[in-house]
Chains A and B, each alone.
Chain A
């Protein structure tokens, strides 16, 4: 996998979104952010990033559906996708079939977010 530098974050809670941004910027990532799935998909379509970090519970679309839509568009299908989720009972097969590389558990520690992304992406 190539260098992961440009990240699109989809998270509806503004404080959580700001915390994710600060954590990732501190790790040297470039971050664009969206408060819901539709806005996030538009950001990704317009300029595909190196990674999409997607909250599982967005107000308009669930994270799995966002992953599917990224994968269904030839212009964005190559973008790796990680789900941020507080749910412990997500079906791993469903996550994989939606095209997500993996998940990062919420709540997250800000100083662990960058390292966790590296772990998930392998």
Chain B
């Protein structure tokens, strides 16, 4: 069985760490696109959404993937608002309706997501410049 860091890579750990950092940067660069998809799915949900409403499913999947991937990259400030949106979508699917309060809450989580993303990218840019 394989199992330890690839010794043939020589400076394997450093290469691996650099790869993970590059993937994290790519993930952050793609985040605005993910937020746009979340906003689009949220807009498409009608107030009288039924459990089989496709936009709710899309919102749930987008938020679920984002929350899980952000966590794996060690970015809880992105994972947490995404998880809240995922939970709201799950509740709407179960209840078959979307309250105005919940919709506002989802928008607030999206705003928080974007703000956290801005802070993270600013911090990364400062780190690279410094």
Candidates B8, B15, B26, B69; contact of A13 at CB < 8 Å: B69
| Residue B19 interfacial (CB < 8 Å) | yes
| Residue A12 interfacial (CB < 8 Å) | yes
Candidates A1, A13, A28; contact of B2 at CB < 8 Å: A28
Contact mask B1-16 → A, CB, 8 Å, 1/0? 1111110110010011
Q: Bound complex: CA of A16 vs CA of B65, how far in Å?
A: 8
- What is the size, in residues, of chain B's interface with A at 8 Å between Cβ atoms? 28
Query: Chain B: which residue is nearest A118 at the CB level?
Result: B3
* A15 adjacent to B26 (CB under 8 Å): yes
B-side binding surface: helix, strand, loop or mixed? helix
Of A17-25, A40-48, A91-99, the one with at least 4 CB within 8 A of chain B:
A17-25
A-side binding surface: helix, strand, loop or mixed? loop
Measuring CB to CB, which residues of chain A are less than 8 angstroms from any residue of chain B? 1-5, 12-13, 15-16, 18-19, 22, 25-29, 57, 59, 86, 106-110, 114-115, 118, 121
What residues of B have a CB within 8 angstroms of the CB of A16 in the complex? 65, 68-69, 72
Candidates A13, A18, A28; contact of B4 at CB < 8 Å: A28
Given contacts A106-B72, A107-B71, A118-B1, is CB(A13)–CB(B65) below 8 Å? yes
Q: Bound complex: CA of A37 vs CA of B14, how far in Å?
A: 33
Q: Bound complex: CA of A59 vs CA of B64, how far in Å?
A: 12
* A4 adjacent to B1 (CB under 8 Å): yes
* B3 adjacent to A27 (CB under 8 Å): yes
Q: Bound complex: CA of A19 vs CA of B20, how far in Å?
A: 7
